[in-house]
């Protein structure tokens, strides 16, 4: 692709070697896994065994494949790279819902980075007003990502989140796992 040309989601998937992210949606490829290991018991509750200190992935969401509700005990930092703006909703165990739009239109309130603390339910999708149907992000996770820590919301949990965050019930249902 030449500068100024827009790639399709499939071209990005092919070029970056992305694979579907099981259960959650979107596409990913791990780009870094720290050689430093954190010993079991050093990270607090929610971890069985040691973990890598940090992991990083490319993460592509599309209109057809958003990031469904999931939770990790680890903190995550999302960095926006290209494509559409991304509507992200964070639902903490205590406190109000915390929406953010990832992108580069700072005058419209978008931010190029968002943090999701461990224990916070999260989901994201391509913003409604977007001209392209994909967004490329990176996600850094510390302690590092392990599928053993990853949990996607059940239908019962989605219903509970929709009731608890009634002002965002439509978005909660929209990001329910398929």
In tens, the pLDDT along 40-76 reads 999 988 899 999 999 999 999 999 999 999 999 999 9
Neighbours of 105 (CB within 10 A): 11
Q: Where are the domains of the chain?
A: 9-37+47-174
Q: Which of 48, 26, 35 is closest to 146 using CA atoms?
A: 48
Q: Residue 129's pLDDT is what?
A: 83
Q: Which of 145, 144, 146 is closest to 36 using CA atoms?
A: 144
Indicate the CATH number of 9-37+47-174 among 3.40.50.11720, 2.60.120.10, 3.30.1370.60, 3.20.20.140: 2.60.120.10
| DSSP code at position 172 | H
Average pLDDT score over residue span 2-19 = 86
Q: Residue 1's pLDDT is what?
A: 40
Please, which residues have CB within 8 angstroms of residue 67's CB and are 6 or more apart in sequence?
21, 24, 25, 26, 59, 61, 122, 123, 124, 125, 175
Residue with tokens 């239109």: 105
pTM for the model: 0.94
Token readout for 101 is: 């739009």
Average pLDDT score over residue span 133-157 = 97
Mean pLDDT of the chain: 95
**pLDDT tier, 5 (very low <50, low <70, confident <90, very high otherwise):** low
* pLDDT for 3 beyond 60: no
């Amino acid at each position: 692709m030449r500068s100024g040309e827009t790639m399709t989601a499939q071209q990005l998937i092919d070029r970056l070697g992305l694979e579907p992210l099981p259960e959650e949606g979107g596409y990913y490829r791990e780009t870094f896994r720290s050689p430093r290991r954190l010993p079991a018991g050093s990270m607090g509750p929610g971890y069985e065994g040691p973990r890598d200190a940090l992991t990083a992935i490319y993460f592509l969401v599309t209109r057809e494949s958003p990031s469904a509700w999931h939770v990790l005990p680890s903190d995550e930092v999302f960095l926006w790279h290209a494509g559409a703006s991304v509507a992200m909703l964070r639902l903490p165990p205590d406190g109000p819902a915390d929406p953010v739009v990832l992108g580069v239109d700072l005058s419209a309130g978008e931010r190029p980075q968002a943090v999701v603390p461990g224990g916070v339910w999260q989901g994201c999708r391509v913003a409604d007003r977007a001209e392209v149907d994909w967004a490329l992000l990176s996600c850094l996770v510390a302690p590092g990502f392990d599928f053993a820590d990853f949990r996607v919301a059940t239908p019962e949990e989605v219903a509970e989140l929709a009731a608890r965050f009634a002002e965002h019930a439509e978005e909660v249902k929209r990001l329910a796992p398929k």
